[in-house]
Amino acid sequence: MIKIKNLHASIDGKEILKGINLEIKAGEVHAIMGPNGSGKSTLSSVLAGREEYEVTEGSVSFDGKDILELSPEDRAREGLFLAFQYPVEIPGVSNINFLKTAINETRAYKGMEPVSAKEFLALVKEKSALVELDSKLANRSVNEGFSGGEKKRNEIFQMAMLEPKLAILDETDSGLDIDALRIVANGVNKLKSPNNATIVITHYQRLLDYIVPDFVHVLYNGKIVKTGGKELALELEEKGYDWIKGEFKV
Amino acid sequence: MTTAELTKKDKFLTVFSSLDFKSEPEHYAQLRKEAEAELLTLDFPTSKTEYWKYTRLGKITNNNFQIGKVEQVDIKPFLIPNLDANLLVVVNGFFMEELSQIASQNGITVSSLSKAKTQNSTVFAKHFNQYTQNKSELFLAINNAFHTDGIYIELAKNTTAEKPYHIINITTENNSISQSRNLFVSSAGSEVKIIESFVNANGSENFINNVTEIYVAENSMVEYNKIQDKKDTNFSISTEQVYQQANSNFAINTATFNGALVRNNLNIEVDASNCETSLSGLYLGKNKDHIDNHTVVDHKKPHCNSFEVYKGILDDESTGVFNGKVFVRQDAQKTNAFQQNNNILLSDNAVMNSKPELEIYADDVKCSHGSTTGQIDDEAIFYLQSRGVGRKSALNLMINAFAKDALEKVTIEALQEYIDAKIEERFA
């Protein structure tokens, strides 16, 4: 589904990603773990198309398309979704209205008719139930006045509405209590299918008890330094990141 | 004396000598004379005049204006769709009876200002010019001395206007000057909603200097909605003097869509207890528009609330000015005053000058004010894009969201829709 080859990226002239190689197939869940500053969030930002980052080398092909050439909105329309580590509050813009715009612009991009009001409302009802998001929240301004847990649930709600092929969850577990974590993880698991894939970026192993990965990659100093099965996450949890740091001293 | 040179102000005032007010009753002629006397002591503000610091008047003071004429104008372009209202039309400061449509209602007097002067009305005489004399503001004094005509609306005790009044105040011609003047009196327990559209039918560099006095008696309610849409080649200075009595409710909503020079002086005197005052404003500047809102709320008595929100979006090389002053006098305990000014600059060359001010002499009050000026939040744009919303739609969503809630206090649905449509049209 996605092939990342020798990806180098920098911000303000400072190189953060130093040659990432990663291939993800449909139906798989990949976890990317790593200490602070290893480049986890940079990787998600580069994939989603954040302007501040400059790709200096390498390629990313998503279902055969070079997505580095696409605008952030076109990447989303192609089926890429980023759940933000810090979801943005947008006063005055209604959650529902903007999602309708997003869905209809995506449909137009694919040459499809806009969604009917009735269909859309049914979709909102179904998907908000999936993440136990109060329908009142769905109607409010985007993330405005939401608690940390509500913001993260809203991310998964949007993901459910947009039905991406590849979802990147950027530290979705950060700041969540165990109940919120369970709700979020449940939502993600219910959305899993043989046709889509998920990248879970996290610092902690905890989330991976709920969203069980097929592969675990350890990112350190801008490179994937270790790849294994879900047991690698447990090993990391036990030995700590110093184990990695010691092994891969720069 | 004969050697004294004419000042710029004297030259400016000569244009009014062609106006003939001889047929007016003595009382009103006298008021004009008093204003002329005050004019002798006043001059054009300069950049050193604090109150006019950010608004240069050269475009007006160096112009050669002629008095605007009575002219038939097609009012269709200025109607608000789906609005069921009484229509009052003023062209270049003159009331146009044949273009107006007024449904008569018991307890409501509606006429031209000039007619009201001749009707021996004690209510009119009591309030007219009562709130505008000797305020040491040149343009106010000019209007006091040389206003032509405008609208008088009076509601008798406990009368609720069935329909809103829509005044269409039109200017025409190049370099014309008009001085319209309104008085609205809502007697105790009455209720009225008024819309005034300040528009331009043709011509550029025309100038309107409008004054509106509003008397809000005990327990009455007045909503005054001002639409300023005179294209970006014309000039407007307008002054509202509002006087509120006990338990009254006054709301003013000002939407300014353009203007080479727009200056609004809004002065509200809250002179009794338990009043509600709301001031809302939205201004959208583009090209070289200059839009200046000066507001004063003067809380003189206890237990009153005032709520003020002005929002601006400035593009290109446009300039915005906001100066909001709230006085809380010593007697005005338990005042609750809120004031906010938020601006978005869409271009590097747009400028906003914002000065919120509180002057508090009472010790048991709740007052807050704030001002923000910034750009559209890039992070929010990226967030919307990352969901599949195109960059342009994302910008529109955000601008519309910012602008639309500025005038949420407008209670006339057709007007609300009209304003929303104009905002959307601007940023489409």
Which CATH number belongs to the domain containing residue A214 in this structure?
3.40.50.300
pLDDT of residue A250: 54
CA A100 to chain B, closest CA, distance in angstroms equals 9
CA angle A95/A98/A103 to nearest 5° reads 120
Residues linked to residue B250 through DSSP beta bridges, in sequence order: B222, B277
Residues linked to residue B214 through DSSP beta bridges, in sequence order: B184, B242
Q: Is A90 on the interface with B (CB under 8 A)?
A: yes
For residues B151 and B141, give the distance between their C-alpha atoms in angstroms, rounded to a whole number. 19
pLDDT tens sequence for chain A (250 residues): 999 999 999 999 999 999 999 999 999 999 999 988 899 999 999 999 999 999 999 999 999 999 999 999 999 999 999 999 999 999 889 999 999 999 999 999 999 999 999 999 999 999 999 888 887 887 889 999 999 989 999 999 999 999 999 999 999 988 888 988 999 999 999 999 999 999 999 988 889 999 999 999 999 999 999 999 999 999 988 888 888 888 876 5
Q: Per the structure block, which two tokens stand in for B406?
A: 């500025």
Q: Of B197, B319, B338, nearest to B255 (Cα)?
A: B197
Q: What does the mean pLDDT of chain B come to?
A: 95
pLDDT of residue A243: 86
Residues of B in Cβ contact (< 8 Å) with A89: 380
Residues linked to residue A55 through DSSP beta bridges, in sequence order: A9
Q: What is the pLDDT of residues B241-290, one digit of tens each?
A: 999 999 999 999 999 999 999 999 999 999 999 999 999 999 999 999 99
| Chain A interface disruption, residue of B382, B387, B397, B400, most A CBs within 10 A | B387
Residue B50, classed as helix, strand or coil, is helix
Q: Nearest by CB to A93, which of B379, B391, B401?
A: B401
Residue B416 — pLDDT band, cuts 50, 70, 90? very high
The verdict on a CB contact (< 8 Å) between A91 and B404 is: no
ipTM of the complex: 0.95
Q: Per the structure block, which two tokens stand in for B6?
A: 């004419």
Measured between CA atoms, the residue of chain A closest to residue B406 is A92
Q: The domain containing residue A75 runs over which residues?
A: 2-247
Contact A151, A178 (CB under 8 A): no
Q: Nearest by CB to A90, which of B385, B393, B398?
A: B398
Q: Per the structure block, which two tokens stand in for B72?
A: 């038939």
Q: Per the structure block, which two tokens stand in for A228?
A: 């294994």
How far is the first Cα of chain A from the last one, in angstroms, to the nearest whole number? 32
* Size of chain A, expressed as the number of residues it contains: 250
Q: Is A84 on the interface with B (CB under 8 A)?
A: yes
The verdict on a CB contact (< 8 Å) between B384 and A93 is: yes
Q: What is the pLDDT of residues B180-199, one digit of tens each?
A: 999 999 999 999 999 999 99
Measured between CA atoms, the residue of chain B closest to residue A76 is B388
Task: Give CA separation, B88 vs B95, B101, B253, in Å.
Answer: 8, 7, 19
The DSSP line for A77-96 is HHTEEEE-SSPPPEEEEEHH
Residues of B in Cβ contact (< 8 Å) with A109: 388
The two beta strands, B366-374 and B336-345, are parallel
Contact B205, B173 (CB under 8 A): no
Residues linked to residue B367 through DSSP beta bridges, in sequence order: B337
The DSSP line for B234-294 is -EEEEEEEEEE-TT-EEEEEEEE---SEEEEEEEEEE-SSS-EEEEEEEEEE-TT-EEEEE
* Size of chain B, expressed as the number of residues it contains: 428
Contact A43, A222 (CB under 8 A): no
Looking at the 3D structure of chain A, how many domains does it have?
1
The DSSP line for A132-177 is T--HHHHHSEETTT--HHHHHHHHHHHHHHH--SEEEEESTTTT--
The verdict on a CB contact (< 8 Å) between B405 and A92 is: yes
Residues of A in Cβ contact (< 8 Å) with B386: 48-49, 72-73, 75-76, 81-82, 84
Contact B420, B396 (CB under 8 A): no
Q: Is B383 on the interface with A (CB under 8 A)?
A: yes
For residues B128 and B245, give the distance between their C-alpha atoms in angstroms, rounded to a whole number. 16
Q: What is the pLDDT of residues A18-58, one digit of tens each?
A: 999 999 999 999 999 998 889 999 999 999 999 999 999 99
Q: Of A205, A229, A235, nearest to A217 (Cα)?
A: A229
CB neighbour list of residue B104: distance below 8 Å, 6 or more residues apart? none
Residue A137, Ramachandran bin (φ over 0: left; ψ between -120 and 50: alpha; else beta): alpha
Residue A27, classified by CB atoms within 10 Å of its CB into exposed (0-12), middle (13-18) or buried (19+), is: middle
DSSP B69: P
Measured between CA atoms, the residue of chain A closest to residue B380 is A88
> What is the number of other CB atoms lying within 10 angstroms of the CB of residue A179?
10
The verdict on a CB contact (< 8 Å) between B389 and A93 is: no
Measured between CA atoms, the residue of chain A closest to residue B379 is A88
Residues of B in Cβ contact (< 8 Å) with A98: 384, 387, 389, 397
Q: Per the structure block, which two tokens stand in for B310?
A: 């002005």
CB neighbour list of residue B79: distance below 8 Å, 6 or more residues apart? B87, B168
Contact A23, A3 (CB under 8 A): yes
CB neighbour list of residue B184: distance below 8 Å, 6 or more residues apart? B151, B152, B153, B154, B192, B194, B212, B213, B214, B215, B222, B224
Q: Nearest by CB to A90, which of B383, B391, B404?
A: B383
